[in-house]
Chain A
C-alpha cells in the first residue's frame, strides 16, 4: 500500500518539474551556447581587430597597443609590396575565376546530356572539390615535381632537364591550374542545376521557331543559367581574394613574392618576422572592404538581371 502510494505521488511531481522548463527557456538553452561561442570567437575578434588596426601593436611583444590613428592604413597604402600583393591577387583571381567559369560551364553542358554512367561521372568530377586545400597543395607539389612529377610527362615533356620547373618558373600559373582543377567542379555543379531547370519544351519551341543551336545557346541557355553562373563567379571571386591555404601548400608565397597573395602577405606580416599585429589587422580590414566592394558589384548586377 505504501509503495504504491509513493509511486503515485512521485509521478506527478516529476512531470511538474519537467513542465517548469517552458518553451522559451528551451529555446534559449539551445541558442545560448551558440551565441556565446559566436561572440567569443567571431564578434569579439572582429571588433578587437578593428581596434588593433588603429594601433601599433605586436602580439609577441609585451607592450600594450598604442593608438596611432590611421597610421597603419597610411603605411599600407604607401607600401609598394602591398600593392604588389594586390596585383598578384587580382591576376590570380582573374585567371582562375575565368578558367573555372569556362571549364565548369563547359563540363555542365557536356554532363547535361543523358548518357550511361552520367551520375558516376558527375560524382567523380566533384571529388577534387571535397578535398582539403592543404592536402591538394601537397600532392600537387609532387605532381609538379620536375624529377618525378607526372604533370610534365602528361603534357609531353619527357626530358626532366629541359622541362619547365612549374612551381619555380610559372609559380602563379601553377597555383591557378590547381585551383581550376579543384574548383571547376563547383562551377559545374551550380551551372548543371541551372541547366537542368530549363524545361525541354522551350527548346522544342525554339526548334519550331527555327532557331539554330548557336542561337538557342545564346538566347535561351545562357540567359537561363546566367544568374547561377554569376553566383558561382561571385563565390569563386571572394574565395580567390582570400586565397591562402592552397598557395601556402603549393608555394608558400614564393618563389620570392611571385605568388604572395594578400592573404599570404598578411600571414607573413603577423607570423613571420616582426609580428606586426596592428598593421596586419589594418590589412585584413582593407581586404574585407575590397571583398565587400567586389561582392556588391556582382550582387547589384545579379539583381539588375533578375529585374530586367
Chain B
C-alpha cells in the first residue's frame, strides 16, 4: 500500500482546460473521495494517476516516487471502471484470473485459483465463477469488476463512479460492502463520484473538484459543516442548503426581501468581519419550526418523505426549506413560527462565493 501525491496537475483537451493546477494527497490506507459534478475533471484526474492519460504539467508520485514516466502496467494500480470493463469473451473466473496471469507475476495456477476463490467469496460471487460476464446483472458485473481489482493487492485502488450505474438499493448495499472491504484491507483508495451521499458516507477525506480546480479538501464533517464556498455548500446536503442574500446594518443582519432580522451580537461571527451585503447559508435542518420561535412565516409546500418532511416556509418574498423529523402535522397555507440555529449559520462572499472564516 502507498500514498499518492498530486502536484500542480494541469491537463488541457484542445482549448478546454480539464484540470487546472490540481494538487492533493491521498494518505496511506485512506479512503479519499473526489467529489464534483459531471465534467469537473474527476475521471481525468483518475486516469492521469493510472497513467491512461498523460498530464500536460505537474507530477504524480506514489510514496514520494514520481511515476510520471511509468506506463499503467508498472504503476501497479487497480482501476474499477464506471462501465465495468469486463472482458466479455471470458468467464467470471477468467476475468478475475486475468490480472494474476500477467507474465510479470509468474504466479502458479494453484495460487491463482486460491486467490480467485477467496476474492469471489468476499464479494459473494462464487456461484457465478463459470458464467460468461455478458450474462450477469449490473450489480454482479460491478462486483466482478471490483473483484478484479482486489484480487491482485495493488498499491492503489482507483474507482471511477463504480456505483453510479446501479439501482438505488444495490448502490446502498455495495456502498456498505466497499467501505467494509476498504477498512478491512487497509487499502489506499481514491474513489470518484458525483453523489454527495456516497462521498459523505464512505470517505475519510473528500476533495471537491469544480471546473478542474480543487475547491476544498477535508473530512466529511469539514465539507458539510464548514463548506469553503457556496458551490461546496450546495453540492453536499440534501435538501440543498438555503442560500439567501443578506445585509448587515450595524448589529442586525437582515435577510433581503423578508422581515427576518437577526441580532448579530448573538452570532458566532464577528459582524465587523462582514461586508454590507453577503450570502447567508442556512442548512434546512437548522430551520426549526417552534411555537416559541422568533420568526413567522407561511407554509408554501410540504413534502413528506416518511423519515422526514420538507417544509417550504415563505418569509416575505424568500422561501426557506426546513426539514423536520417524521411526518409534520403542518399543512400548506398555515402560518408557522420557527427558529434558526444561529451557531450553524454560514456566511459567503456575494461575488466570489468564498466563505468568511470565523
Contact = CB atoms under 8 A, between A and B. Distances in A.
B79 A205 contact: yes
Which of A202, A208, A219, A223 neighbours the largest number of chain B CB atoms within 10 Å of its CB? Answer: A208
B52 A204 contact: yes
Interface in B169-199: none
A219 B98 contact: yes
Contacts of B39: none
Interface stretch (A114-122, A145-153, A210-218): A210-218
A207 B104 contact: no
B104 A208 contact: no
B83 interface: yes
B158 to A, nearest CB: 9
Given A201-B81, A223-B89, A224-B89, A209 B148 contact: yes
B185 to A, nearest CB: 18
Given A202-B85, A223-B89, A224-B89, A208 B98 contact: no
B306 interface: no
Contacts of A289: none
B52 A209 contact: no
B224 interface: no
Interface residues of B, number: 25
B105 to A, nearest CB: 8
Contacts of A202: 85, 87-88
A209 B89 contact: no
A290 interface: no
Contacts of A207: 52, 71-73
B249 to A, nearest CB: 57
B78 interface: yes
Contact of A220 (B79, B81, B87, B152): B87
B99 interface: yes
B87 to A, nearest CB: 6
Contacts of A224: 88-89
A207 B75 CA distance: 11
A212 B71 CA distance: 11
Contact of B102 (A199, A204, A211, A308): A211
Contacts of A208: 50, 52, 72-73, 77-79, 99
Interface string A167-178: 000000000000
Contact of B103 (A201, A206, A212, A308): A212
A208 B160 CA distance: 14
A201 B89 contact: no
B89 A210 contact: no
Nearest to B98: A209
B4 to A, nearest CB: 15
A204 B98 contact: no
Contacts of B78: 208
B81 A209 contact: no
Interface string B75-110: 001110101011111100000001100111100000
A220 B77 CA distance: 20
B99 A210 contact: yes
Contacts of A220: 87, 89
A308 B77 CA distance: 31
A204 B85 contact: yes
Contacts of B71: 207
Given A210-B104, A223-B89, A205 B73 contact: no
Interface in A217-256: 219-220, 223-224
A279 B105 CA distance: 65
Contacts of B105: 210
Nearest to A222: B89
A199 B77 CA distance: 21
Contacts of B85: 199, 201-202, 204-205
Interface in B43-73: 50, 52, 71-73
A210 B148 CA distance: 12
B224 to A, nearest CB: 33
Contacts of B77: 208
A296 B87 CA distance: 29
Nearest to A308: B132
Which of B71, B89, B152 neighbours the largest number of chain A CB atoms within 10 Å of its CB? Answer: B89
A201 B83 contact: yes
B153 to A, nearest CB: 13
B39 to A, nearest CB: 19
A211 B102 CA distance: 5
A286 B224 CA distance: 81
A220 B88 CA distance: 9
Contacts of B103: 212, 215
Which of A201, A210, A211, A219 neighbours the largest number of chain B CB atoms within 10 Å of its CB? Answer: A210
Contacts of B148: 205, 209
Contacts of A205: 79, 81, 85-87, 148
A210 B73 contact: yes
Interface in A166-209: 199, 201-202, 204-209
B97 to A, nearest CB: 10
Interface of A: 199, 201-202, 204-212, 215, 219-220, 223-224, 308
28 contacts: A199-B83, A199-B85, A201-B81, A201-B83, A204-B52, A204-B79, A204-B85, A205-B85, A207-B72, A208-B52, A208-B72, A208-B73, A208-B77, A208-B79, A208-B99, A209-B98, A209-B102, A209-B148, A210-B99, A210-B105, A211-B73, A215-B102, A215-B103, A219-B87, A219-B98, A220-B89, A223-B89, A308-B132
Interface of B: 50, 52, 71-73, 77-79, 81, 83, 85-90, 98-99, 102-105, 132, 148, 152
Closest 8 CB pairs of A and B: A210-B102, A223-B89, A209-B99, A205-B85, A210-B73, A208-B79, A207-B72, A201-B85
